[in-house]
Chain A
Amino acid sequence: MNFRAFFIITLLTSCIAPSNAAAQTNRTQTDAVKNDTLKTDSLKVYRAREVQVRGLREVRAAEQTLPIESLSRAQLETLNTNTVADAVRYLPGVVLRDYGGIGGLKTISVRSLGAAHTAVQLDGLSVSDRQSGQVDLGRFGLETVEQIDLAHAGPPDNLSTAQAYSLASVLSITSRAARFESFTDPLSLIAKVQHGAFGFWSGHLSTMSRLSEKTFLALAIERQTATGEYDYLQRDGLFQIPQYRRNTDVNQTRIETDFGFLFSPQTKLHLKIYSFDAERGLPDAANIGNADNSRDRLRNQDAFIQASLQTAFTEKFTASFKSKFAYNFTRYTSTFPEARYIQREVYASASATYAFTETLTFFIASDIARSTLFTTLYQAAQPSRTSLWNVAGVKFISPSFSIETNLLSTLVGETTELGTASPSRSELTPTFAIGYKPFADMGLRLRGYYKKSFRLPTFNDLYYTRVGNTSLRPEFATQINFGAGYEQSVSFGGAFVYLRVQSDLFAIRSTDKIIAIPRDTFNWTMLNRGLTETLGIDLHAEVELQSESLGAVSLWGNYTFQSATDADPASFTFGGQLPYTPFDISAFGLTWRKNFFSLGTSAAYSGFRYSSLANEIENFLPAYWLFDATASLNLTLFGVQSVLKAELINLLDTQHEVIRLFPMPGRNARIALTLKH
């Protein structure tokens, strides 16, 4: 597909936006376009899909009852992005906890809540880590990713798993293969080679083929290696000491296989087999006087197989059945005895929606999961957890007014091979959201939601030898959000302008925080303690301008202010801002595309932070700005589309730390050549 066709499609969607605003004001209908290939006639579907695949945005974020932010394939291509971790930094309200370098752990914190409060989904099923509760987003490559959505308070898809409703936010990664029904070519090939600083080499090869009218097969293999070493300046009071980060090498292979089958226009099966194998060095805290001392190694072998069957029994009644088996192996080698961890999870989910009328939809979902952890730790408990999630909800969506509400029940039971298991838990958590569009002919929408959710104690929290505490309660988060969104598209003289502004005010009260308390240098224990309160505001604005002569110019910006403090009056750190939670975070981007050429630049700001609840000078981490730039050439020669992309990262060579004593790399560059056929 050439750029002109792309241009036309994007223009088309922009034109549709204002006139079609009423029809698109709700999530259900966008979802219908997104998920349901089947109810409408083929031409319409084709167009909708074209919009999805090539369009600038699929979910119209300002119009959602619940806040959602998305990054489409097109946007990802103009940003500095190698992994999902790189991409989420551009979403409002997100702080990426980054331990630095290519192999460093990268987890997401949304609106001051810890990583365990965000569900991470890949093609509709959760990628969970019951041991640590956090998912390393640096492990997910972007080459096969079509879209990333960060949804607050619940998943946008009516046919989601019940578990997706269980946490404060959902980060959904959708792969290209998950939308296989829109793929029409008999065979397409993508080959990509990437080279960059830190001895980084990456090779990617993937194929997608429509084997028959009904069957689809995609294969992707990616291998990355890097020495990962870099120079940095270590801050020591008034001095800066040149240092070199070592033991940072990474060697990883990811293989994804997707199989799609269309049983009928109403029924679709997606089977995914995923494997990830990584061996890497694990650099330790870069202490003053002792910056480079780690020889620790980490080996990860993750594999899962998942199946998702979606069907429409009638026009009103749709259902989805999903299942998954996941295996995660971790081996940590250090000067201490080697530690090995094996997690297994079997997962099954069924969900259904019933549309009573055009405006009223009922949905229900039930999930069951059994998760086990085996460790070689001394006196390991070897826990197993059976979890049951059930959710039922209603959505009423009229052009001017919408209500969404659901109630989730979570049942958890655990057993151990050694010692006592954590007692069973049963919790009910509600979500309630309203949206209001005051003027039929104006793209303004007001919205609000209330959600209660909790994160369960992880296996480490409960059972880690000597540290774990089996009487831990879940850590609750209650969110209230009020927002307003406005979007407008106008066209004049062959040029089209799209504008979106949105803002959300949020308040989060988190109780029974699970934290590690040291008893002395050698002894820590996990406890529920305290209360934190977050008050914040997310602002997002974007403008897009498209014209034949100018090309496409897009400018966007995010700003988040959050005061997230220890609100327990009995605490010694009462009033202290949460660790690694800047008051201000901001990101801006400017991209320009014309013909075969595109340029992008972005800036990200993190305000000052503290590494501890004790907001003292010795825990202070200064603010920093980061600037990136990308340029790419997109040429089609002899039927092969070639994309050459250069990325300049941290242009000003800003020396900074996200996590204390884990220095981040300075200025660096990457170059990639992609061939598509």
Chain B
Amino acid sequence: MNTIKKNHAVRFQLWLLLLSFALLLQACKEVPVGPVEPLSAVTKGVYVLNEGNFGSDNSTLTYFSLDSNKATTDFFNLANGRLLGNNANDLKIIDGKMFILVTESSKIEVVNAADGKSITTISLFNGGTPKKPRSIAFAAGKAFVSCYDGTVVVIDLASLAVIQSIPVGAYPEEIAVQNGKVYVTNSGGLNFPDYDSTLSVIDPKTLVESKRFKLRINPTNIAADNYGDIYAVSTGNYGDVPARLIVIDAATDIVKKTFDFDAGSITISGDFGYVISNGKLIRINVKDETIVNETFIAADNFTYFYGVSVDETTGDIFCTDAKDFTARGTVSRFDQNGLKKDSFDAGINPKRVSFFRQ
């Protein structure tokens, strides 16, 4: 009990400190917020978010140090003496702060990316109803968080306070920023069999949903390229409607192209898009929207290929393997030619990877 109170007190003081600091900064000048870390920095380590098992509080964080080639799980628990919670789904780093979204625990843990120490915990509830954050993206000094209660929550990056909750479609899944617009995939995922099929567009300045347009059934994964396009995966209905990768021109929000392969998820880095498809990795060119390698990384490298991330400073590709969804998984590192370099152990169901640079 005492420790809890102390913990709360410390947290509150920390929060006050941060707030005053933020206000001070606000007073001096506009907070500079870049979309990604400057690429001149060197990648020091890799954070892997392990989803854990649904219905179990075994989501964990693995830190893989590129200096020592050593993986540590659970880095969050070691740094903070507590657990991440149930069903962690996204992590992203901005300005040295790492945002970890824990869906079933309905909270965002904001930690210092250098040591994993907690900065604050943002609990997301609407009255007594958990909002269940799924995915995060940054724009205009704010974090945009898609939540399973059909909203996008806006967090001010300086104060780390929730400033808005914007209604979107049912079970919004992922979020991406293109042309100064925030795109959200409305999956309708848990409304089986009545999936949603729309994308919501949010203006990050006015914080309103400016548009909602129909795409294709069950849109989930989404990414932006450097050529003004949005890539979205329509997951289909897991039955007779297959999953597809769709390219949208963000200037007009009109579909430019549909790739006719089964798409799981896409990650874009530079001119390349990396698509998980039936257990293997397809590489596409996002500049001219063509397939470069039908099999960039073969399916036999994995038991269950779960997630892919690219370290933009080195071009290394990190692929997570969820194994049998029961045992702890692994993360394999491939070079930019798709050749395997090494692998390390992570926690249960590793999916998202984020790079810590200094």
Residues of chain A at the chain B interface (Cβ within 8 Å): 236-242, 285, 287-290, 292-293, 336, 378-379, 466, 517-518, 521-523, 571-573, 611-614, 616-619, 660-661
> How close is A530's CB to chain B, nearest CB, in angstroms?
10
Residues of B near A661 (CB, < 8 A) are 55-57, 86
Distance in Å: Cβ of B104 to nearest Cβ of chain A: 5
Q: A288-B86, A289-B106, A466-B192 are in contact. Are A660 and B326 (CB under 8 A)?
A: no
What's the minimum C-beta distance from A514 to chain B, rounded to whole angstroms?
15
Q: How far is the CA of A292 from the CA of B127 in the complex (A)?
A: 12
Q: Which of B56, B74, B80, B123 has the most CB of A within 10 A?
A: B56
> How far is B332's CA from A176's CA once the two chains are assembled, in angstroms?
64
Is B291 an interface position by the 8 A CB rule?
A: no
The closest CB in chain B to the CB of A579 belongs to: B326
Q: How far is the CB of A57 from chain B (nearest CB, A)?
A: 42
**B324 A290 Cβ-Cβ under 8 A:** no
Q: Which of B1-39 contact A (CB under 8 A)?
A: 1, 3-4, 7
Residues of chain A within 8 A (CB-CB) of B81 are 237-239
Q: Please report the number of residue pairs spanning A and B whose Cβ atoms sit closer than 8 angstroms.
A: 119
- Across the interface, A612 reaches (CB within 8 A) one of B1, B53, B85, B130, namely B53
User: Contacts of A613 on B, CB cut-off 8 Å?
Assistant: 326-327
Q: State whether A288 touches B57 (Cβ < 8 A).
A: yes
Give the shortest distance, in Å, between B311 (CB) and chain A (any CB). Answer: 25
User: In terms of DSSP, what is the predominant structure of the interface of chain B?
Assistant: loop
Asked if A237 meets B80 with Cβ closer than 8 Å, knowing A288-B85, A571-B324, the reply is yes
Contact, CB under 8 Å: A289 / B105 = yes
- Whether B4 pairs with A612 at a CB distance below 8 angstroms is no
A288 to B107, CA, bound (A): 9
B86-A287 in contact (CB<8A): yes
Residues of B within 8 A of A287 (CB): 57, 85-86, 104-106
**Can you add 6 more A-B contacts, CB < 8 Å, to A287-B105, A660-B56?**
A521-B51, A522-B189, A522-B192, A572-B324, A618-B58, A661-B57
With A289-B107, A290-B104 in contact, do A618 and B74 touch (Cβ < 8 Å)?
A: yes
Using a Cβ–Cβ cut-off of 8 Å, how many residues does chain B contribute to the interface with A? Answer: 48
Contact B104 A285 (CB under 8 A): yes
Given contacts A237-B77, A289-B105, contact A573 B327 (CB under 8 A): yes
B residues adjacent to A (C-beta < 8 A): 1, 3-4, 7, 51-58, 60, 74, 77, 80-87, 102, 104-107, 121, 123, 125, 128-130, 189-190, 192-193, 238, 303, 323-328, 347-348
Question: Which single member of B3, B193, B323 contacts A238 (CB below 8 Å)?
Answer: B3
Interface residue from A239, A336, A618 paired with B60 (Cβ < 8 Å):
A618
B53 to chain A, nearest CB (A): 6
CB distance from B143 to the nearest CB of A (A): 18
A618 and B193 contacting across the interface, CB-CB below 8 Å:
no
B326 touches A293 (CB 8 A): no
CB-defined contacts of A571 to chain B, threshold 8 Å: 324
Q: How many whole Å from A465's CB to the nearest CB in chain B?
A: 8
Instruction: A517 to B327: give the CA distance in the assembly, Å.
Output: 12
Give complex CA distance A618, B193 in Å.
34
Most chain B CB inside 10 Å of its own CB: which residue of A287, A293, A517, A572: A287
Contact status B106-A290, CB under 8 Å: yes
* A376–chain B nearest beta-carbon distance, Å: 13
Bound form: Cα–Cα A242–B254 in Å: 52
A336–B148 CA distance with the chains assembled, in angstroms: 13
**22 A–B pairs (Cβ distance < 8 Å), ordered by A:** A236-B82, A237-B80, A239-B7, A240-B1, A240-B4, A287-B104, A288-B57, A288-B83, A288-B105, A289-B85, A378-B192, A517-B324, A517-B325, A521-B54, A521-B87, A522-B192, A523-B238, A612-B53, A614-B326, A614-B348, A616-B58, A661-B86
| Distance of A189 Cα from B54 Cα, bound (Å) | 50
In the bound assembly, the distance between CA atoms of A237 and B323 in angstroms comes to: 26
Alpha-carbon gap, A475 to B84, bound state (A): 36
For A612, the chain B residues whose CB sits under 8 A away are 53, 56, 58, 326, 348
- Cα-based distance from A571 to B60 in the complex (angstroms): 22
B107→A290 contact, CB < 8 A: yes
Complex Cα–Cα for A293 and B51 (A): 21
Q: Given A571-B324, A614-B327, A614-B328: A336 and B190 within 8 A (CB)? A: yes
Judging by beta carbons under 8 Å apart, are B326 and A285 in contact? no
| Assembly CA distance A293 to B348 (angstroms) | 25
Q: How long is the Cα–Cα vector from A578 to B327 in the complex, in angstroms?
A: 13
CA–CA, A242 and B4, complex, Å? 9
B328–A616 touching, CB < 8 Å: yes
Task: Report the minimal beta-carbon distance from B280 to chain A, rounded to whole angstroms.
Answer: 16
Chain A positions within 8 Å of B51 at CB level: 521
- Interchain CA distance A466-B189 in the complex, whole Å: 14
Asked if residues A618 and B52 are in contact (CB atoms below 8 Å), the reply is yes
**Provided the pairs A238-B82, A240-B4, A288-B83 are in contact, do residues A572 and B326 lie with their beta carbons within 8 angstroms?**
yes
Q: Are A572 and B83 in contact (CB under 8 A)?
A: no
